[in-house]
Structure 1
Amino acid sequence: MRLIPSIAALSPLLVLLGSCVGPAQRAPAPAPTPTPRPGPTTQPIAPVSPAPVATEWHNRPTTPGTWTYRTEPTGSVASFGPAATTPQLAFRCDRATSRIVIMRMGTGQGAMTLRTSYGAVLWPTTSVAAPQPQVQAVRAASDVTLDQIAYSRGKFAVEVQGLAPLILPAWAEVARVIEDCRG
């Protein structure tokens, strides 16, 4: 009896044995070459400039403060400021003459410019020294611009040369003073 098989008999097994080999080994990927980083520069870095201030009045934020309303024996007053005791602007109704006085506190000069979503108007002013310095514009209660202030889209602006412009919310207090003067 023969224990050694012939090569012819083993050839199918050798073919199968060759198919059991795993895939060929790939060559390793080359290592990435480090990118040189630039060293410190001798030029100073320019400071970051702040965002530009909006030039259009309706794009600027409103002036900090709130409106207050009060009645007086001669009419009513709507005042705006950081506190009720320190107004920056006031609308005062004089019922006897049906006139509204717009008072911008501070020392300014020239005409008062009022800007609303309807447009801008210039009103002549007078300067008053007592009880505190202020610039006043006096208008008839029937002036259409007063309606434009009351119904401006969200805010309106008051500008007087020599004083910081005020961007004010168009709240009900101003409309109430206008209606008090007309009624």
Structure 2
Amino acid sequence: MMRRLFFPALPLIALVGVAGCIPQGAAPVQPQPATPQPVVRPVAVPSPVPTPTPTPITGDWRDWPLTPGTWTYRQDKRGSIALFGVPGENALLTLRCDLGRRTIYLSRAGTAPSGSMATIRTTALTRTLRMAPTGGRPPYMAVAIQPEDRLLDDMGYSRGRFLVEIPGMPTLVVPAWAEVLRVTQDCR
């Protein structure tokens, strides 16, 4: 019978024995504190840098830097077209010969109120033209010019460049390349 009492009492005896191993005056073991949660600090998002307003160019416009871009020429069912701008982007300026109407359309990328005036400056003349929105996407302002108009020849023969100015839009300083004259000749 003693055997039976011994086995159930064994766990109790083991506990008393372990309790006796703690030295006198020792602090009881404290449970480990929970791992602190990382502090989430908001990350400052840099505010967008405002686009600087272009410094007005002063002096003789014939010395102003050219607007970045190049001319390209192509023909299609309607006639021919010369496009000026950065390759791979929408054209900034186009000259379109519409053979069916025998009319050249000068188009400038952007929007302005209907009836806005565009000033075209060449080394030989300055002309103001009334522009109208084309209604397309991307938006353009356009004006019809008769192929015999001297302005087209002056744009093509201007000394190195000509200007297209519309109030409220950046001025285009466009190189006077052969594409202008090719489109003009196609419509004559």
Superposition TM-score, scaled by structure 1 size: 0.68
Say whether 1:138 aligns with 2:136: no
- The match for 2:16 is none
- The match for 2:186 is 180
- Distance apart, 1:161 and its partner CA: 1.5
Q: Is the 8 A contact 1:91 1:103 kept in 2?
A: yes
1:75 to 74, 79, 91: 79
- The match for 1:157 is 163
Q: Using the alignment, how far apart are the partners of 1:60 and 1:133 within structure 2?
A: 26
1:100 to 100, 104, 115: 104
Task: Report which of the two has the higher share of strand.
Answer: 1
Task: Show structure 2 runs of 5+ residues with no match.
Answer: 1-54
Q: Using the alignment, how far apart are the partners of 1:52 and 1:163 within structure 2?
A: 12
- Residue deviations 1:140-160, cap 9 Å, x none? 111111111111111101111
- The match for 1:21 is none
- The match for 1:118 is 124
1:171 to 167, 173, 177: 177
- The match for 1:91 is 95
Helix, strand or coil for the counterpart of 2:166? strand
Task: Show structure 1 runs of 5+ residues with no match.
Answer: 1-50
Say whether 1:65 aligns with 2:69: yes
Say whether 1:53 aligns with 2:57: yes
- Distance apart, 1:53 and its partner CA: 3.5
Question: How many residues are treated as equivalent by the alignment?
Answer: 132
Helix, strand or coil for the counterpart of 2:91? coil
Q: Give 1:149's aligned amino acid.
A: M
- Distance apart, 1:78 and its partner CA: 0.3
Q: Is the 8 A contact 1:75 1:93 kept in 2?
A: yes
Q: Using the alignment, how far apart are the partners of 2:185 and 2:159 within structure 1?
A: 19
Identity among equivalent pairs (%): 39
Q: Is the 8 A contact 1:111 1:161 kept in 2?
A: yes
